A and B are shown apart, each in its own frame.
Chain A
Amino acid sequence: MGLPNAIGDLSTEVEVEAFRRLFPLRFYEKHLSESIRPDARPLGRARDTTIALGAVASANGSALAKIGSTTMLAAIKMEVMTPSMETPDEGCIAIDFHMPPICSPIVRPGRPAEAAPVVSKQLSDTILSSGMINLKELSLVSGKAAWMAYLDIYCLDADGALFDTALLSAVAAFSHLDIPEVSLNDDGKIVLLSEEQEGMSDRESVNKEKRKVTLSSVPFSLTCILHKNYILADPTAEEESIMETLVTVVLDSSSQLVSLYKPGGPVLAYTSAIQDCIALTRQRAKELQKILDEAISGMEVD
């Protein structure tokens, strides 16, 4: 990796790798002043993104999302539950985010990662408040039975932009979700119709038409770093540790703001910076929508 225009007294003498480790901030600032990042990206460009649907065969819906080397595996299990008294005709979504020790050197075995509950809370806030899934669709028999969707997201490699990748994998898993067919038995209880029985069973399926959830407005997010006047889209873990001001913008398909999340950080965000972040997110949301559509149409061909 070359350092463009190495100026300064030390940088000419020290090897690039050593300079990077000793003066990480100056190393980055030298790149930023040339409008480039050490991994050869321009400041506003996100890393390569891939989605693989159906990564977990035993789950009802699953997806593996990768942004750069950040990897998340999301899987949904559907279970029948009795809906609560307040919302008799609504299902429920339980979201959990796991960071096992394999994902990052910062996470130690035995001790849960600090970031995990925070990302988990952020995810459930975003998914539930965006109205992506109409909980009424998860109802089976009003007041008696409804679907409980357990969404578990495992972080396999944490290299920055955890929330973005987690949200993308969650959205992809929901778009891949196949709701299992169920029927009422003689006692009025819900039973799964397994595939072998399908032909033989004379029982009527209760949800023949409702095998897919409709995603009404899909939320997409982009995390940016604010550093001085620079805005860096989709940071890596190294960038996040050096420049600490993060702004996460979540927009849905109709460009409504679902969340604008800036938890502190040494740099103050002014209106212009916020506008730039939102503009970058708009662009990114279009990219992500395209990638997701391609992944879904790829599944249909198979």
Chain B
Amino acid sequence: MEVDREDGRTQNQLRPLACSRNILHRAHGSASWSQGDTKVLAAVYGPKAGTKKNENPEKACIEVIWKPKTGQTGKQEKEYEMILKRTLLSICILTVNPNTTTSIIIQVVNDDGALLPSAINAACLALVDAGIPMKHLAIAICCVAKSGYVILDPTKLEEQQKMKAFAYLVFPNSVHSVLPEGSLSVQGEPIEHGIITSVTHGTMSVDDYFYCLDRGRAASVKLSDFLRRSLQQHSTDSSKAG
């Protein structure tokens, strides 16, 4: 089925991606990520000594601060902070630096749809830039489901008006590993098919959701390649690149 999109993209086409690392001098790690007109800056400070109250001191702790483009931090930002924190906790190796806190500051530069996925991608890059030990990267993507077909990476307009339901999905990136083949799959499914994070808005049928998952997985491979390439370009130490 053909779908007309405002900007003339096909339904599986992502907007142009761009990222750069090490753009802030004072931060331990920083990155900017943009897809189309959505742009997000991420800065990482840490690991700093000590954990906050109610956190497990035997593990490293992650703190996320979300700065919106304008206005004050509201409920939406608090929710993003929580999702981002839990997502990053699951990909970092927390036992290497116990009793430390790493702060991640997300600054929204421009929001034109797929904001949370962009922020997750930016935060991952910034964590790599800061040299925080990680198991793998997280690849985030936004899919919009509409009666039987799925479009990827929607703009703000597509998120808000044209479409009924969309899903933010986060997958692990495809791992190049020294471990033997079989150890990277769980019950016959490769590790990159597992969902780290899923957030949906609006009602869709269950089948549409699974269709979103398929499309998201396919697109996450492209994103994963883009991330890996740009990380290898920037760093002379290629072992850093997840």
Residues of A within 8 A of B (CB): 106, 114, 117-118, 120-122, 125, 129-131, 217, 229, 244, 247, 252, 255-266, 268-272, 274, 278
Contacts and interface: CB of A to CB of B under 8 A. Distances in A.
Given A106-B54, A118-B78, A118-B79, A130 B187 contact: no
A219 to B, nearest CB: 9
Nearest to A229: B187
Given A268-B195, A269-B194, A271-B193, A263 B204 contact: no
Contacts, number: 103
Interface string B62-84: 00000000000011101100110
A129 B202 contact: yes
Contacts of A262: 195-199
B56 to A, nearest CB: 10
Interface-centre pick from A257, A258, A264 (highest chain B CB count, 10 A): A264
Contact of A270 (B83, B187, B203): B187
Contact of B203 (A229, A257, A264, A271): A257
A16 B183 CA distance: 35
Interface stretch (B86-94, B98-106, B125-133): B86-94
Nearest to B88: A264
Given A256-B203, A258-B203, A264 B167 contact: no
Contacts of B88: 264
Interface in B90-128: 90
Contacts of A125: 201
Contacts of B85: 264
Given A117-B79, A118-B79, A263 B199 contact: yes
Contacts of B195: 262, 268-270, 274
Contacts of A229: 187
B196 A268 contact: yes
B239 to A, nearest CB: 24
Contacts of B170: 264
Contacts of A118: 75, 78-79, 82
Interface stretch (B8-16, B152-160, B206-214): B206-214
Given A118-B82, A263-B87, A257 B186 contact: no
B75 A257 contact: no
Given A261-B200, A268-B172, A122 B194 contact: no
A257 B198 CA distance: 13
Identify the 5 closest CB pairs spanning chains A and B, nearest first: A268-B194, A264-B86, A264-B87, A117-B78, A121-B75
A106 B208 CA distance: 38
B205 interface: yes
A260 to B, nearest CB: 5
22 contacts: A118-B78, A121-B75, A121-B79, A252-B203, A255-B206, A256-B204, A256-B205, A256-B206, A260-B167, A262-B195, A263-B87, A263-B197, A263-B199, A264-B86, A264-B88, A266-B90, A268-B186, A268-B195, A269-B194, A270-B195, A272-B187, A278-B206
A178 B206 CA distance: 34
Nearest to B73: A117
Contacts of A255: 206
